[in-house]
Structure 1
Amino acid sequence: MKFNRTAKAHWKGGGKDGKGSLTTESGVLKESHYAFKTRFEDAVGTNPEELIGAAHAGCFTMQLSFFLVEEGFTAESLDTQARVYFEDGSIPKIELELKGKVPGMDESKFKELATKAKENCPVSKLLNADITLKTTFES
């Protein structure tokens, strides 16, 4: 399967005093505000790091659901948080934290498939960062 997706960024002004907007092809983001303060301080709007986190959490969780089905299981719930670390102009680390409830599965198999999903989801493959995974299995 091959496809592409498009997102656009618009920016006016300098790095610290400028502002911009982000729009996605799907329309989920439509001129969503981002700026220095939304990225490096605590202001209303989005930023590249939280969007990377959302993309990574979504990709990983969906990949895991495919691996579960391949093994004959269906998740009752999978909840993933991705914490993206920004340090000195780079993103060296992303921590994935997964909570999952999969009827009929044991914790060992759950951790095995979660690790496989972390290593194989397309966003993980794209990122040049140390990606860690913590799992919580609910029986």
Structure 2
Amino acid sequence: MKFTRKANANWKGTGMEGKGTITTQSTTLNQAQLSFKTRFAEGVGTNPEELIAAAHSGCFTMQLSFLLSELGFVPDDLNTEAQVTFEDGNITQIHLDLKAKVDGISDSVFQETAAKAKAICPISKLLKADITLSAILL
């Protein structure tokens, strides 16, 4: 399977005082605000690190669902928070915090499957950051 997805960023002005928008092909993000404040402080809008966290948590969680299904398990609930650490101009670490409810699975099989999902998730393979995982089976 091969496909291409796209997004567009537009910026006007300097890095600190300027403003921009991000729009995704699906228009889920449609001219979402982007600014110095939304990246390095707090404000209404998004930023690249938040978007990476969203992409990574979504990709990992979907990958885990596929792997569990291959093993014959149907997840009741998979909830993953991705925490992206930006330090000295680099994304240095991403921590995936998974809480899951999967009936009938042993903790050892669950942990092994979650680790495999982290390793083979396309977003994990894309990133150079140190990626860690904590997985709790509820």
Q: TM tier, shorter chain?
A: over 0.9
Equivalent residue for 1:119? 119
Pair 1:5 & 2:37 matched:
no
Distance 2:20 2:56 in 1: 23
Deviation at 1:53, TM superposition (A): 0.1
Q: TM-score, normalised by structure 1?
A: 0.98
Query: How many aligned positions are there?
Result: 138
Deviation at 1:44, TM superposition (A): 1.0
2:113 maps to a residue whose letter is L
Equivalent residue for 1:80? 80
Distance 1:42 1:65 in 2: 33
3-state SS, counterpart of residue 16 of structure 2 = coil
Pair 1:64 & 2:73 matched:
no
3-state SS, counterpart of residue 9 of structure 1 = strand
Q: Deviations over 1:54-102 (max 9, x none)?
A: 0000000000000001101000000000000000100010000000010
2:65 maps to a residue whose letter is S
Distance 1:126 1:31 in 2: 26
Deviation at 1:12, TM superposition (A): 0.1
User: Which runs of at least 4 in structure 1 moved beyond 6 Å after TM superposition?
Assistant: none
Task: Give % identity.
Answer: 59
Equivalent residue for 1:96? 96
2:86 maps to a residue whose letter is F
Q: TM-score, normalised by structure 2?
A: 0.99
2:32 maps to a residue whose letter is S
Distance 2:30 2:16 in 1: 22
1:103 maps to a residue whose letter is D
Runs of 5+ consecutive residues of structure 1 not aligned to the other structure: none
1:50 maps to a residue whose letter is E
Runs of 5+ consecutive residues of structure 2 not aligned to the other structure: none
3-state SS, counterpart of residue 45 of structure 1 = coil
Distance 2:92 2:86 in 1: 7
| Cα RMSD for the two superposed structures | 0.4
